[in-house]
Chains A and B, each alone.
Chain A
Amino acid sequence: MTLLYAFVGAGVVGCGLYMILSRNLVRMLLGFSLLATGANLLLFLAGRVGSQQPPIIVEGEQRLGDAADPLIQALILTAIVIGFALTVVMATLVLRAWRQSGSIRAEDANAAEAMGAPPKKPGNTA
């Protein structure tokens, strides 16, 4: 079960990384979304997939019995929120780039590289 779970997580992360390498900015955006999901799956695995009991102390007891790891669930919730926020910000940037230049190709998004780049040959300040 754990091994299968690990392979699924690795597969999702692999797909995400492949899409991030794309020159299409929208694919890159989806890749980041997928990568965050894959990372959350693997984070879940780090807390061990075992008991399915919710981590609630039974009434009258002092200690938590056999239960799923509550800490890792809290971490994943936080990671989901952060991942979502960053994906939205990235989407805003891609949308803005598309509105300005009408292109979602990464090669066209190089105004920053061109700004202040050293001249190609003497006297030519391109």
Chain B
Amino acid sequence: MTDALLLVAPVVIPFIGAAIAMLARKQATLAAATGLVASLLLAIASALLFARAMTSISTPLTLLGNWPQGIGLSLSATLPGVALVMVTALVALAAAIYAPVDIGPRRRRAGYDPMMLAMIGAVNGAFLTDDLFNLYVWFELALLCAIGLLTLDRRPAQIHGAIRYAAFAMLGATFILLGIGMIYGITATLNIHEAAAALARTPPNVASATAAALLFGGFALKAGLAPFHLWLPASYHVAPASVTAVFAGLLTKMGFYALLLIFAGLFGTASESPSAAQMAPLFGIIAAATMLVCVAGALAQTDMRRLLAYHVIAQVGYMMAGLAIATREGVAAAIFYMIHSIIVQSNLFLGAGLIRRASGSWDLTRTGGMVRHDPLFAALFAVPVLSLAGIPPLSGFWAKMIVIRESLDAGMAWIGGVALIAGLLTIVSMATFWSDACWKETPGQRIRRVPGTGLAAMALLSAATVLIGLFPQGLWTLAQQSAYMLEIGR
């Protein structure tokens, strides 16, 4: 019973919070308090769930409504799901602390708190579910909340961005639904582990290939992999910084988690499955294209949000490289990268929001002077910037190093080479970004003070990045266990 409560808590706490915040959205302070308290409770619950999952020999599992397994929905506390739920809670907490910076009473009345909490709940649901159709439902729920958050102010740019976003996401979701339907047609089950066992027994055929293609197309679109990435830089930048930070941290990674679940878990591409040999080369090309095209895109931008949006997808390319390596260590590298990237990307957008607040512009040609006016901010912001660039000893260095090392070990040196080139371009892009925003002096510019809540939120995420950077071994062991759990099921 405790297990069941713990397992549903990461989903139910945000939903109850969303319901309360929905009723209380006219009172801005009450709604804000609900958001903060729900995020805190979520962080505690997810830490307890993680501790429970790590200390027990068997996997905690709950079947909703006591249906027999395979028919009813089941949530299970496996790796990497529980670790991702914890990181999600961290990002949600940081966003809730940061929110007063750019979410005023008007945006709260428009429903910021309920939609944000419901989206966090949906993301957690996707990380914990064992059921393919349930996974699809969580994606759709997260999409609905995301559309609402994108259009908080109802400005033309937001409506137009949301139309782009919704159109691409709905198309992807339909392909996912068709793919799931085909998997059910082949295996007669929707449980991922049972379906994986059934697929392993049958040789690859036209039906399973079509299902794999549909699922790959759908989830690659959600994850923002090239060539399905164009919707992301066209829509993410229209929302307030605290919203974009959560999007950048969680939504593309949720798509990539689904790719891991489907391809490393369901189709077994990281083991000696017959379908692995067919898919790995395609994955490699897509990963390389994503890394190079999106970093090049970032170099052309001067608007901070658009620049970072390109980096969001370039980072997904590195994770895809881990999956493309098609070994268990490759998948572990992807999981390590995913956890590092969620924290860093959210932090970067929070920092960009504070720079905009201080200097009055999103445009890098008009920002500057942060080092002199606020050294604490400049130091806190340097952590995610250097981590994304891959400078030791921060988390990004280990994440990139592991991906490249595993690609060499698996004899796919060309992916490692592409990752190195993209990494070099990332360093160039991040160096110009930090010096334009913090170091450069723009004559005649007035710089306003940076709010303390914003700094507190950034400190939380920066501390996590430094911690991973100083003790990468713990996370690497966790990532290896996660890759093993994905492969064998439970």
Complex CA gap A59/B411 in Å reads 63
Contact check, A82 vs B300: say whether CB atoms are below 8 A apart. no
Residues of A contacting B182 with CB < 8 Å? 46
Contact check, A119 vs B174: say whether CB atoms are below 8 A apart. no
Q: How many A-B contacts at CB < 8 Å in the complex? A: 119
Complex CA gap A86/B169 in Å reads 10
User: Per a CB cutoff under 8 Å, which of B156, B166, B171, B185 touches A111?
Assistant: B156
Classify the interface of chain A: helix, strand, loop or mixed.
helix
Q: Is A62 an interface residue (CB 8 A)?
A: no
Contact check, A47 vs B237: say whether CB atoms are below 8 A apart. no
- Minimum CB–CB distance from A49 to chain B (whole Å) comes to 11
Closest chain A residue to B171 by CB distance? A20
Q: Contact residues of A with B, CB < 8 Å?
A: 13, 20, 25, 28, 32, 35-36, 39, 42-43, 45-48, 71-72, 75, 78-79, 82, 85-86, 89-90, 93-94, 96-97, 100-101, 109-119, 125
Residues of B contacting A85 with CB < 8 Å? 140, 144
Residues of B contacting A48 with CB < 8 Å? 185
Contact check, A93 vs B174: say whether CB atoms are below 8 A apart. no
Closest chain B residue to A87 by CB distance? B170
Closest chain B residue to A78 by CB distance? B137
- Minimum CB–CB distance from B115 to chain A (whole Å) comes to 12
Contact check, A46 vs B184: say whether CB atoms are below 8 A apart. yes
Residues of A contacting B178 with CB < 8 Å? 13, 39, 42-43
Residues of A contacting B235 with CB < 8 Å? 112
Residues of A contacting B177 with CB < 8 Å? 39, 43, 79
Contact check, A116 vs B167: say whether CB atoms are below 8 A apart. no
Closest chain B residue to A125 by CB distance? B363
Q: Is B302 an interface residue (CB 8 A)?
A: yes
Q: Is B181 an interface residue (CB 8 A)?
A: yes
Q: Is B439 an interface residue (CB 8 A)?
A: no
Q: Is B6 an interface residue (CB 8 A)?
A: no
- Minimum CB–CB distance from A51 to chain B (whole Å) comes to 15
Complex CA gap A112/B309 in Å reads 13
Q: List 7 A-B contacts (CB under 8 A).
A: A32-B167, A46-B181, A48-B185, A97-B156, A101-B156, A111-B156, A112-B158
Contact check, A112 vs B174: say whether CB atoms are below 8 A apart. no
Complex CA gap A45/B177 in Å reads 13
Q: Mark B372-395, 1 if CB is under 8 A from A, else 0.
A: 000000000000000000000000
Q: A71-B71, A100-B156 are in contact. Are A116 and B363 (CB under 8 A)?
A: yes
Complex CA gap A96/B153 in Å reads 12
Complex CA gap A76/B182 in Å reads 13
Q: Is B200 an interface residue (CB 8 A)?
A: no
Give me the 9 closest cross-chain CB pairs, A-B, nearest first: A116-B303, A112-B161, A46-B185, A46-B181, A43-B181, A111-B157, A111-B156, A109-B160, A112-B160
Classify chain B's interface size. 35 or more
User: Per a CB cutoff under 8 Å, which of A78, A79, A82, A118 touches B301?
Assistant: A118
- Minimum CB–CB distance from B26 to chain A (whole Å) comes to 21
User: Per a CB cutoff under 8 Å, which of A93, A101, A112 touches B234?
Assistant: A112
Contact check, B147 vs A89: say whether CB atoms are below 8 A apart. yes
Closest chain B residue to A114 by CB distance? B157
Residues of B contacting A111 with CB < 8 Å? 155-157, 159-161
Complex CA gap A32/B167 in Å reads 8
Closest chain B residue to A20 by CB distance? B171
Closest chain B residue to A98 by CB distance? B159
Q: A75-B133, A93-B151, A112-B238 are in contact. Are A117 and B140 (CB under 8 A)?
A: no
Contact check, B159 vs A96: say whether CB atoms are below 8 A apart. yes
- Minimum CB–CB distance from B314 to chain A (whole Å) comes to 17
Contact check, A82 vs B140: say whether CB atoms are below 8 A apart. yes
Closest chain A residue to B237 by CB distance? A116
Residues of B contacting A72 with CB < 8 Å? 181, 184
Complex CA gap A72/B132 in Å reads 13
Complex CA gap A37/B136 in Å reads 17
Residues of A contacting B144 with CB < 8 Å? 85-86, 89
Residues of B contacting A39 with CB < 8 Å? 174, 177-178, 181
Complex CA gap A78/B159 in Å reads 27
Residues of B contacting A109 with CB < 8 Å? 159-160, 163
- Minimum CB–CB distance from B365 to chain A (whole Å) comes to 8
- Minimum CB–CB distance from B227 to chain A (whole Å) comes to 16
Contact check, B171 vs A42: say whether CB atoms are below 8 A apart. no
Q: Is B106 an interface residue (CB 8 A)?
A: no
Q: Is B490 an interface residue (CB 8 A)?
A: no
- Minimum CB–CB distance from B313 to chain A (whole Å) comes to 16
Closest chain B residue to A115 by CB distance? B157
Contact check, A20 vs B133: say whether CB atoms are below 8 A apart. no
Contact check, B238 vs A115: say whether CB atoms are below 8 A apart. yes
- Minimum CB–CB distance from A20 to chain B (whole Å) comes to 7
Closest chain A residue to B147 by CB distance? A89
Contact check, B185 vs A116: say whether CB atoms are below 8 A apart. no
- Minimum CB–CB distance from A15 to chain B (whole Å) comes to 13
Q: Mark B40-84, 1 if CB is under 8 A from A, else 0.
A: 000000000000000000000000000000010000000000000
Interface positions of B from 287 to 305, Cβ below 8 Å from A: 300-303, 305
